[in-house]
Structure 1
């Protein structure tokens, strides 16, 4: 089974562009993923880019997304270490990188900061690779 770590943007894309991960693929992310998706949806509603009904439906879509969320002691410690090594002012993106390094075969993200940080640590996969 191939494990793909995803970030909040990819989770939203999976909800909006239903792409069923093919058999033999598992999605993993840090436990903060739900909060980050909720925050993105709320921001879009406040900015007028998304109506509340759609945002709530997408939030339900998140609950239906088959993804293993991780927030154990080792993941948190690794995130802290990575944020320190990368001299990041915030540990949040390191949580995604930590889960990818510890629990995944590849990271799926369009975030250039995460992509750069993943270089040499874990392979990067593309969104479409989730269905192949």
Structure 2
């Protein structure tokens, strides 16, 4: 089984496409992923590009996506070390990468800043990998 760390924009694409994740794959992410994805939907509603009903429907679909969410002392400590090593001023994206280092084989990131930060930390793979065998 291959474990993939995903970010909130990737989660939204997964639910919008409605395609199932291949049975040989497991998704992992920090506990906050669904709240962060919901914040992205809220921004779309506020911008007038998505109706509230559609946003709430996507939220329901997000809750059905099987994701092993993590966020314990070990991942927070690893996030701290990554942030200090790389000179990052915040821990949000560092926590994603920490969980990737500890629990994932690769990262699927549509957030360009997270993808750039992952360059020497974790392999980056395209979203399409989630829907097919390795």
Task: Identify the TM-score tier after normalising by the shorter chain.
Answer: over 0.9
Which residue of 2 is the match for residue 55 of structure 1? Answer: 55
In structure 2, distance between residues paired with 1:84 and 1:35: 26
Consecutive unaligned residues in structure 1, runs of 5 or more: none
In structure 2, distance between residues paired with 1:95 and 1:13: 21
Q: CA RMSD in A?
A: 1.1
Dislocated runs of 4+, deviation >6 Å: none
2:64 is the alignment partner of 1:64 = yes
2:81 is the alignment partner of 1:81 = yes
Consecutive unaligned residues in structure 2, runs of 5 or more: none
Deviation at 1:112, TM superposition (A): 2.6
Note the 1:1-132 alignment, pairs <5 A. 1-132=1-132
Count of aligned pairs: 132
Deviation at 1:116, TM superposition (A): 2.4
Deviation at 1:128, TM superposition (A): 0.3
Deviation at 1:41, TM superposition (A): 1.1
Deviation digits for residues 67-115 of structure 1 (CA, Å, limit 9, x no counterpart): 1100111011111221222222221111111111110000001223222
TM-score (norm 1): 0.94
TM-score (norm 2): 0.93
